[in-house]
Structure formats: structure tokens, C-alpha cells
Amino acid sequence: MKITEDMKVCEILDLDDRLEVLFENHGLPCSGCPGAVQETLREAADGHDIDITALLEDLNKEA
């Protein structure tokens, strides 16, 4: 499954436990964050000044 910026963070984290580390490596400690249920990947990245392109590349390599 390809990960896209419009997916909810919680949906992405549910795909594979290893993805949590990638989020953390990019400065997004999403596990346990209430925003992970509501926010899309784009919203989370924008809110934390994260490069969405690099994050998506890494997530899709691992997923």
C-alpha cells in the first residue's frame, strides 16, 4: 500500500510498527499523540515544519 499525505497518521502507524521510528527520526513523536487520530500526514508535517517529501519517501521505502 502506498502511503500518501492525505492519510491519517494513525492509519499509517497501524500499517507497520517499524514506521513509528521513522516518524520519530523526522521529528514527529506521533505515537500516543491525540492528534494522530485526527491529523493527516500533511497536517502533522506542516504543524511541525517537517519536509513532507522526505518523510513520504522514507515511509514508502519502509512500508
Q: What does pLDDT average to in each consecutive run of 10 residues of the chain (63 residues)? A: 96 94 92 88 96 97 90
Strand partners, 8: 40
Q: CA angle at residue 14 from 45 to 31, to 5 degrees?
A: 55
In a domain, 39, yes or no: yes
Q: Look at phi and psi of residue 27 and say left if phi exceeds 0, alpha if psi is from -120 to 50, else beta.
A: left
In a domain, 2, yes or no: no
Report the number of distinct structural domains present in the chain. Answer: 1
In a domain, 4, yes or no: no
pLDDT for res 34: 86
In a domain, 1, yes or no: no
H helices present in 1-63, as ranges: 9-15, 19-25, 35-38, 41-47, 52-62
pLDDT for res 1: 85
User: What residues make up the domain containing 20?
Assistant: 9-62
Q: For the whole model, what pTM was predicted?
A: 0.90
Name the residue with cell 500526514.
41
